[in-house]
Amino acid sequence: MNGDLVGVRDAIAQRATSAREVIDGYLARIDAANGVLNAYHEVFAEEARAAADSVDAAISRGDRLGPLAGVPIAVKDNIATKLGTTTCSSRILENYRSPFDATVIERLAAADAIVVGKTNLDEFAMGSSCERCAWGPVRNPWDPSRVPGGSSGGSAAAVAANLCAAALGSDTGGSIRQPAALCGVVGFKPTYGRVSRYGLVAFGSSLDQIGPICHSVRDAALLYEVMAGDDPRDSTCAARAVEPVSATLDETPRTFRVGIPHQYRKGNSPAVDTALERAALLLQKAGATIVDVDLPMTDLGISTYYVIAPAEASSNLARFDGIRYGHRSTAHGSQDLFDLYANSRAEGFGAEVQRRIMLGTYVLSAGYYDAYYRRALQIRRLIKQEFDTVLAQCDVILGPTSPTAAFPIGGVTDPLAMYMCDVYTVNTNIAGICGISLQAGLDHSADRPLPVGMQLQAQAFNEPMLFKIARALERASGPLDAAPPSLTTVA
């Protein structure tokens, strides 16, 4: 079955198909395509079939079911599940089994969704390409020689290739939105504190958020409603009611203002610039007033992020020492405690994770804390104030999600060049606001067409407005005029 989350759910509820038939169809596609794409690390086939049978039995009895009954959802492998392992795509957690479910997993279960498997990611969510996975690179369904984006590349690839109805990702600096853009699907990062982080393996605790990757804005709105809300187990969760967004999704405001920073119009590929101008025109036809705005600190976001995030990572990942958590080295010879720590971490962590731990430890060290970390926190406050000023002038900010379409696997080897893939997304996390990426066109400059994504950003806790405008743009844009080959060759 090809269909978005809402379509799959409705077909099951209306008995046009059964949950078991749906699950069997998705599992067949996973079997056919995952060997090429490497989107999934682990698939829960028998458990998914058993859950589907339970949904079908409940429907036959006339029981009242949740809003996601029978819908197969994939979960990024840095979100804790009692089912299977939670590895963060790292050798250091290769055999780790969580004794508890993350809050978002509990809420999916309460909505009667079915977790079909765990998806690969850049190790510990540190990357923009999904090449840095201990189990091999994830490949883009549109062109398997290219990256799917990262770090939630497995989730984005699984959705784009129709290997699940929707997926969960995590977004620390663009890790939901950027792969969604490169894979031609929708990725939503909620306001910081809107969705519980309990059970998310921490990378940057002041930046991380869990969010959905879906086929449509409507799907993302529904999945967000299921997951969002206060959680006493997460002290950073906002203790405020979640405003409904899916029921009012098609109520486009009569008038609204869309800001386009001039900083977002430079350094992009021609296809991205074309998509930006088209998106602006479509929104204008839908009733928007386009406003030129200024975000002069855009270029400072990358340097600020790559001080704050590694600093928090160096602290969060200190627990993986081979004794309390994680892989323990069995290197021969005399080992004191320091050697055990060093060998375990050197064997368990990949090069990029080691690089960020070292960078974070350096910026937090005596003599450098004020020069780097404290300074980055001061710039973070200025970036937040800049967004507050601009979002007082407009309802949403429009711009590219990524400066280019997907690049070839192995095509970007300079770490700084890789970091620049997130130039438009990191400041959303730094400011703690919400953002959504949706497909906006195709780049035909390569051998195969590749999707281009546009991002909308809105003020913190203004998800209702963000979803309405995103839905208006989605309706105006229409579907892409091409599809990933896996959608036509894997049936």
Q: Which of 89, 151, 196, 314 is catalytic?
A: 151
Q: Which of 76, 118, 189, 468 is catalytic?
A: 76
Q: What is the rounded CA–CA span in Å between residue 103 and residue 168? A: 12
* Sheet of 186-189, strands arranged across: 40-43, 114-119, 72-76, 166-171, 209-214, 186-189, 434-443, 450-458, 396-400, 256-261, 288-293
Residue that has been written with the tokens 């405020």 in this structure: 240
pLDDT at 286 over 60: yes
Q: What is the rounded CA–CA span in Å between residue 176 and residue 169? A: 6
- Mean pLDDT value across the chain: 95
In this prediction the pTM is 0.96
pLDDT digits (tens, 9 = 90+) for 125-154: 999 999 999 999 999 999 999 999 999 999
Q: What angle do CA 90, 157, 405 make, to 5 degrees?
A: 105
pLDDT digits (tens, 9 = 90+) for 60-105: 999 999 999 999 999 999 999 999 999 999 999 999 999 999 999 9
Tokens standing for 398?
A: 């429009």
350-381 residues labelled b (16+ CB within 10 A) or e (exposed): bebbeebbebbbbbbeeeeeeebbeebeebbe
Query: Position 445: which residue type?
Result: S
The yes-or-no answer on residue 118 being catalytic is no
For the chain, the structural domain boundaries read: 5-258+392-489, 300-377
* Among candidate residues 196, 202, 188, the one with its CA nearest the CA of residue 156: 188
Q: Which of 89, 128, 129, 175 is catalytic?
A: 175
Per-residue confidence (pLDDT) for residue 488, from 0 to 100: 45
Query: Position 352: which residue type?
Result: E
Q: What count of Cα atoms within 13 Å lies in the side-chain half-sphere of residue 251?
A: 7
The yes-or-no answer on residue 76 being catalytic is yes
pLDDT digits (tens, 9 = 90+) for 314-363: 999 999 988 888 898 887 665 788 888 889 999 999 999 999 999 999 99
β-sheet bridge partners, residue 166: 73
- Return the C-alpha torsion angle 105, 168, 30, 474, nearest 10: 140
* CATH fold group of domain 5-258+392-489: Amidase signature (AS) enzymes (3.90.1300)
Q: Which residues contact 10 (CB under 8 A, 6 or more apart)?
A: 16
The yes-or-no answer on residue 60 being catalytic is no
Q: Which residues contact 274 (CB under 8 A, 6 or more apart)?
A: 441
**Do residues 204 and 309 touch, judged by C-beta distance below 8 A?**
yes
Q: What is the rounded CA–CA span in Å between residue 297 and residue 379? A: 9
**DSSP-derived 3-state class of residue 189:** strand
